[in-house]
Structure 1
Amino acid sequence: MRAGIRMRGGQVRSLPVLRHSDEQAEILWVAICDDELIQVVGRGRGVNRIADNPLEVQILADVALPQVYDTIGTWDLERPDLVQRMLLAGVAVDSPTNATTLHPGLFANAEQAKKAFERIGFKGQNPLKTSCREMSLKSARYRRPGRGQSWHRAWWVEGDGRDVRGKLEDALGCLVGWTLEQGG
Structure 2
Amino acid sequence: MLNKKLNIKVQKQQLRADLLEQRRKHDQEFILNQSDKMAENLYAWSCYQQANTIMLFISMPDEPSMMKIIEHTWRQGKTVCIPHMRQQFGVMDAAIIDNMDSLVRGRFNLFVPDPTHLKVIDPESIDLIVVPAVAYDYAGNRLGMGAGYYDRFIPQASKAVLIGAIWSSQMVDCIPSNQYDRPVHYLLREDRIISCDVGKV
Q: Do these two structures clear the TM 0.5 threshold for a shared fold by scoring above it?
A: no
TM-score range for the pair, normalised by the shorter chain length:
under 0.3
Structure ID, larger Rg: 1
State the structure with bigger RCO (CA 8 A, min sep 6), 1 or 2.
2
